[in-house]
Chains A and B, each alone.
Chain A
């Protein structure tokens, strides 16, 4: 007790307390303002919506309609939400290069800011799934690889293949490879169900489970080639191709050499 009261009356006690208080308040403010950063002020938001609308009118409206109400060749975007726009535009799928069976992943046409403006505009039309924030995507912390693998094999492997390399669907459609896809986009695909993909709502697969799936995909992506050349990780087809070319080719080559008459 005596010691505590002596410290309380120490010369440095006041300044230390002050620094501590300032630090606490500053950090709290920082955290609070970080949370608020996403929700820009009403004025900023309306500016972004206006920007987004301009981009939309130039780049999207010829197919999706002047008010995103959809047309004969493109669906309505009212209520699809920011997540859907972010997935389709930031992965380069939209705007489509041609009206083939499926929008392909390609170099994005718009930069991150423009995508954000477009997403904000479309989200302003009607509520829909939102773009998950950084905090919601911390799959390294919140996911489990083994559980993710189990969920992936149950829900995703039937189209995307056991190692997330992609696979064929009917009529020329396909499930794309998931190698090198941003975690945010994988998450958005699950909640919005782009193209042939079904929606995996938070009731079917909880947000934590989604993070586990992402963690497993990322683990598969960075997995070293354990048994030698991976041969595309598509199963026995490439193995058969290799044995019928390199394997038997080498052996027949040697057989020809062995059977040559010694000169």
Chain B
């Protein structure tokens, strides 16, 4: 035993005597994580959240969340002598007077955008691979909660500097609150402490932005990760991988090094963007006053689809009993997002209800093997993409010399027409890919080598695929559709007949598949060749 090992052993023994950590560490440091690039997407969110905490703390040292009116006397000449809120002036000071302040502001904002992008791509991976299935439904709901809170948190951060762009955003948020029937105007007065814009809103959202929501985030992220730890990570199907094991590398040292390194890379990419690309240049926007607005006012991208929905809404209003209900804001601003987020959160339960599959799943699906789920996902994405594009319709119109009216009508029509088309095309594509898989298993790989037979016939040589590949292509199970009884033994309609009929129907749609190649079929063909 060398001296170094003896010292390390003594230190470890000292700590273990007092904490009893050795047993716990031994168990958990050898925990195995499966290796796949898409399993690192969630880590992007975690790391950018840490960056957000650090850079945000730096910004609070100088930011003054106050609507007190000040006269700007700072370094930025084009705004000198103008009256503005202390919030805006202090953001200017962070940008131009505080050493490294602008870089920190830009890192904070880029990290926020990356955080939201990370959440979305992570969600898409979890969705399309079916990782949300039992026992992970709660974690899925926590994830949807994090997405929703992320949108709110991002919007509040974007609103804090009280510049012309963010003030416009707050104005729209106020309009959406006001659109609530009956209570809307009261709620708006409550939130703003009086009429818009008032002096209370910025200090209030500051507290929510730096204290309440980050606290909730920390709690939810902790539970999210603890559940992953406890339930173990899902893995893609492959040889040797079953529902009962996890194939991968141990946390210590391999995964620890990879994950730790990835943190620095996420930090590096964020810092790189913060250093080379301008984001939210509030000095160009100017201070907010309700009498001003800029062409092309946009929210950040994660709100862009909401803005796009509001932009395409036709002017619908009803007047009844002395009240006005603005459907043009209520539907795109509250009702549609409400339906979308509820549907997203409940999706695991809806799917298991529809397919009748209540078993645990730790092996992931290949998206092609669940055509219905994949098609629903692409349908929802298409809907969101159309509205997101419409959110930037003015910028797109000037860039590509289009008319904004045509863009809006395109969006109005395609938001109804394109999602179903996307569903059908995706489902067909999935089935075609299944068919290709089946052909690959049964007939092998096309080598491109042509051989002329003695009788003059030309044939292409097919090579059998490896057993591993064949396993990957055939190991998934294909669910049979539900056949819930609509009538009881004596032929009388059951009370739940309608429900059962619906479930049968949905599960039939979900079970549509190209029958995968079986071993017998394969043998048969091999004998034939």
| Contact surface of A with B, Cβ cutoff 8 Å | 101, 145-146, 149-150, 153-154, 157-163, 165-172, 174-175, 216, 219-220, 223, 225-231, 233-240, 242-244, 246-248, 250-252, 254-256, 258-259, 261
Contacts and interface: CB of A to CB of B under 8 A. Distances in A.
B40 A255 contact: yes
Contact of B265 (A238, A251, A261): A251
Contact of A226 (B102, B398, B403, B405): B102
Contacts of B281: 226-227, 230, 233
Nearest to B307: A236
A254 B276 contact: no
Nearest to B40: A255
Given A227-B102, A227-B278, A258-B37, 8 more contacts: A162-B284, A216-B78, A227-B106, A227-B279, A240-B300, A247-B269, A248-B44, A259-B36
Contacts of B41: 252, 255
A156 to B, nearest CB: 9
A15 to B, nearest CB: 50
B106 A258 contact: no
Given A228-B276, A242-B277, A248-B114, A161 B294 contact: yes
B80 interface: yes
Interface residues of B, number: 68
B295 A149 contact: no
Interface stretch (B2-10, B51-59, B196-204, B389-397): B389-397
24 contacts: A153-B294, A154-B291, A165-B296, A166-B398, A172-B402, A219-B77, A227-B95, A227-B102, A227-B106, A227-B279, A228-B106, A228-B278, A229-B277, A233-B284, A234-B395, A236-B280, A236-B299, A239-B279, A240-B301, A247-B110, A254-B265, A255-B37, A258-B40, A259-B39
Nearest to A248: B117
Contacts of A145: 77-78, 80
B304 interface: yes
Nearest to B284: A163
B78 A149 contact: yes
B209 to A, nearest CB: 18
Contacts of A216: 78
A221 B261 CA distance: 42
B296 A234 contact: yes
Nearest to A238: B395
Given A153-B292, A233-B284, A240-B304, A170 B405 contact: yes
B208 to A, nearest CB: 21
Contacts of B274: 228
